[in-house]
């Protein structure tokens, strides 16, 4: 009888471990760094982002990999668990096929159509944000996830806001 309880406990522990790994593959926690998403998100706010965000729409807040140099992405697309990247948090204002809004032009000219498979992103605090006006459109493959939840402030910063 005791052996049955031990076996059951081991099975439950194993299933819990698999469940945690499955959740980690679908969700990631990031911390906003900087003031570019104020007032919606402030420095130190925690976001929960859903990996593989599906279809992105204007208004979605996304976590994405910042470009390495001159608006380019030199590294391979990040994989689950890669924490050595420079993650940014911004709001999508246009998706592939949409025109770049006239009043948000910059690196992508006003009226130019956002290429398929890319998004045009901006920080909510536009005066201090480094976003698509400076780095251009962001390939959707570089989007880590869509932010779906805000949590408590943390002192550990891992994503620029």
Span 121-148, pLDDT tens digits: 999 998 999 888 888 889 998 898 899 7
pTM of the model: 0.71
Which structure tokens are listed for 104?
């948000």
Alpha-carbon gap, residue 93 to 140, rounded angstroms: 13
Q: Tell me how far CA of residue 66 lies from CA of 34, 62, 136, in angstroms.
A: 14, 12, 11
H or E element in which residue 17 lies: helix 2-26
pLDDT at position 66 is 80
Spatial contact of 112 and 100, defined as CB atoms under 8 Å apart: yes
The model's pLDDT over 34-91, given as tens digits with 9 standing for 90+, comes to 999 999 999 988 888 888 767 899 999 999 888 776 556 665 565 555 555 678 999 9
């Amino acid at each position: 009888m005791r052996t049955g309880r031990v076996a059951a406990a081991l099975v439950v522990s194993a299933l819990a471990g698999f469940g945690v790994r499955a959740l980690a593959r679908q969700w990631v926690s990031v911390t906003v760094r900087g003031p570019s998403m104020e007032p919606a998100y402030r420095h130190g706010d925690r976001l929960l982002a859903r990996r593989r965000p599906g279809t992105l729409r204007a208004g979605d807040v996304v976590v994405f990999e910042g470009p390495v140099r001159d608006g380019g992405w030199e590294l391979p697309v990040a994989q689950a668990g890669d924490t050595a990247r420079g993650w940014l948090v911004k709001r999508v204002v246009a998706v592939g096929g949409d025109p770049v809004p006239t009043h948000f032009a910059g690196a992508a000219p006003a009226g130019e159509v956002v290429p398929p498979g890319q998004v045009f992103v901006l920080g909510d605090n536009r005066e201090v944000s480094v976003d698509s006006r400076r780095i251009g459109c962001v390939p959707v493959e570089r989007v880590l996830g869509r932010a779906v939840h805000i949590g408590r402030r943390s002192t550990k910063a891992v994503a620029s806001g």
